[in-house]
Amino acid sequence: MKQFRLIAALLVLLLSVMAFVACNGGQTTESTPSDTTAEVNGAATETPTDAPAHKVEVTLTVKDQEGNPMAEAVLTILPANGEGESATLTADSEGTVKVSLPEGEYTVRFDVLPEYVLGIDTTITVAAGMEPVVLEVTDNTPNGSEERPFVINEDSLTVTVPAGVTYHFTLFGGYNRTLHVTDAGAEILFRDETYTPDENGSIAVRIITDSPRDHAYVAITNKNGDTREITLTLVSDPGAMDNPIVIEQPGETITAKVPQDGMVYYKWTATATGTVTVLSSDTINNISLNNLTTSQVSDFSNGAESVSLDVNEGDEITVVVSVLGGDKQAEYNEVSFKLSMGGEEAEPETLTVELENCTISSSLPLFESHFTTADKPVWTIWWICSVTPPFKTASRSP
């Protein structure tokens, strides 16, 4: 009887629990990983899943404008929206890289390319079934052609020129310099004029440009019957910017031979602190002073008779001589000038000395010495006399 009552009590308890659940009292709902929808404000929406994004195998090949592969090019591939993974890759010998990327828009950036090669950022779309992508860059590597000439930016360049072939060159820093080539079978074209070797098999072409910043262009043809190594050498003319003429003695008249549309450079080291002045009576003169030590520059004289600049003792001074107008048909125009400290040097005075008890053995001095002290000339003149001691001297400082 007791067992029956126990069983009945358990059945009642079970029925009570079932009734509570049926009434949703304290009911909770659990979602499972397979749930893909949820109700938001009475509307059903998709819930995100943890499934990985689909990736696509991407093949990129870098080639130049002639179809040549760019080996060792380094590319960086970035999502166009700035979010997500990126990759930096180095092209193989065929200029190719391969990478797996999620679908979407990407920017390809050229991080490293060979010298003279230009690449512009490119946008690609990564999608299933896409074909390999060819990325074109522009190769400007000098090859001697008229479009891609060899570059001479040093004092010399040696190139191998096949028989009958013409190579083109760009000369940097050719202003006021002469191009030398030694090869009996070479021929140079510069400014529509052809230059051939002299009896020694050498060619010298003076390079003329409008300014030191301009480039010059020349072409060389190998007229020999075989391939030759030809060396081009640039030699600075005396008076060129990198080979200025040294002014040894202030006060001396200097005549500059100024090439058409060119300049002649002189240099001098200031011997005292003061004002250095350049004087010229040539109306075509156009002279400037440049203090290389203090970086001070005077105006150009523009035809004036003088131009000045303050200096300190030991300053390195450059005198730049050019012309205004002049004879346009002449290869050179001449400009004469003097450089002095504190103004023009005084002209030497005539000195008359009466020597007592002395018979001049000759109408001319035995010798004359000349030196400068404090920027003033001093002469010491020696004569042979018939008295003892046999030498008399006379000196004068104007």
Kindly state whether residue 103 falls inside one of the protein's structural domains.
yes
Kindly state whether residue 12 falls inside one of the protein's structural domains.
no
Both 267 and 194 in one domain: the answer is: no
Measure the CA–CA gap between 349 and 398, rounded to whole angstroms.
6
Q: pLDDT tens digits, the chain, 398 residues: what are they?
A: 555 565 656 555 666 656 555 555 444 444 444 444 444 444 444 545 555 568 999 999 999 998 999 999 999 999 999 888 889 999 999 999 999 999 999 999 999 998 889 899 999 999 999 999 999 999 999 999 999 999 887 788 999 999 999 999 998 866 668 899 989 899 999 999 999 999 989 999 988 777 667 888 999 999 999 999 999 998 887 888 888 999 988 889 999 988 777 789 999 999 899 999 999 988 898 999 999 999 999 989 998 989 999 999 999 999 999 888 878 778 788 999 999 886 444 444 444 545 554 544 444 444 444 444 444 444 445 444 444 444 444 444 44
Q: For residues 390 and 366, is the Cβ–Cβ distance under 8 A?
A: no
Q: Determine the pLDDT at residue 176.
A: 67
Measure the CA–CA gap between 333 and 325, rounded to whole angstroms.
9
Q: For residues 245 and 228, is the Cβ–Cβ distance under 8 A?
A: no
Kindly state whether residue 48 falls inside one of the protein's structural domains.
no
Both 270 and 297 in one domain: the answer is: yes
Cβ-based neighbour number of residue 135 at 10 Å = 20
SS3 131: coil
pTM of the model: 0.52
Query: 49-75 burial, b for 16+ CB within 10 Å, e for fewer?
Result: eeeeeeeeebebbbbbeeeebbeebeb
Out of 211, 236, 261, a domain closes at 236
DSSP symbols for 317-377? EEEEEEESS--TTSSEEEEEEEEEESSSPPPPPP---PPTT---SSSS-SEEEEEEETTEE
Measure the CA–CA gap between 383 and 361, rounded to whole angstroms.
8
CA nearest to 339, candidates 263, 287, 261: 287
Both 323 and 265 in one domain: the answer is: yes
The domain spanning residue 90 has which CATH number? 2.60.40.10
Kindly state whether residue 83 falls inside one of the protein's structural domains.
yes
The domain spanning residue 266 has which CATH number? 2.60.120.380
> What type of residue sits at position 93?
S
Q: Determine the pLDDT at residue 239.
A: 87
Q: For residues 297 and 239, is the Cβ–Cβ distance under 8 A?
A: no
Kindly state whether residue 355 falls inside one of the protein's structural domains.
yes
Both 91 and 135 in one domain: the answer is: yes
Q: For residues 184 and 225, is the Cβ–Cβ distance under 8 A?
A: no
Kindly state whether residue 319 falls inside one of the protein's structural domains.
yes
SS3 18: helix
Out of 236, 254, 274, a domain closes at 236
Angle at the Cα of 96 from the Cα atoms of 95 and 99, rounded to 5 degrees = 150
Residues with Cβ within 8 Å of 391's Cβ and at least 6 positions away in sequence, in order, are 382, 383, 384, 385
Angle at the Cα of 115 from the Cα atoms of 114 and 119, rounded to 5 degrees = 65
Residues 217, 332, 266, 336: what is their CA dihedral angle, to the nearest 10 degrees? -170
Measure the CA–CA gap between 334 and 340, rounded to whole angstroms.
20
Containing structural domain, residue 83: 55-139
Q: For residues 97 and 89, is the Cβ–Cβ distance under 8 A?
A: yes
State the distance between the two ends of the chain, measured CA to CA, in whole angstroms.
158
Kindly state whether residue 22 falls inside one of the protein's structural domains.
no
Q: Determine the pLDDT at residue 172.
A: 80
Measure the CA–CA gap between 155 and 290, rounded to whole angstroms.
25
**Total number of domains in the chain:** 4
Both 64 and 133 in one domain: the answer is: yes
Out of 217, 236, 255, a domain closes at 236
Q: Determine the pLDDT at residue 17.
A: 53
> What type of residue sits at position 85?
E
Kindly state whether residue 6 falls inside one of the protein's structural domains.
no
Measure the CA–CA gap between 58 and 105, rounded to whole angstroms.
12
Residue 381 CA, chain-centre distance (Å), reads 57
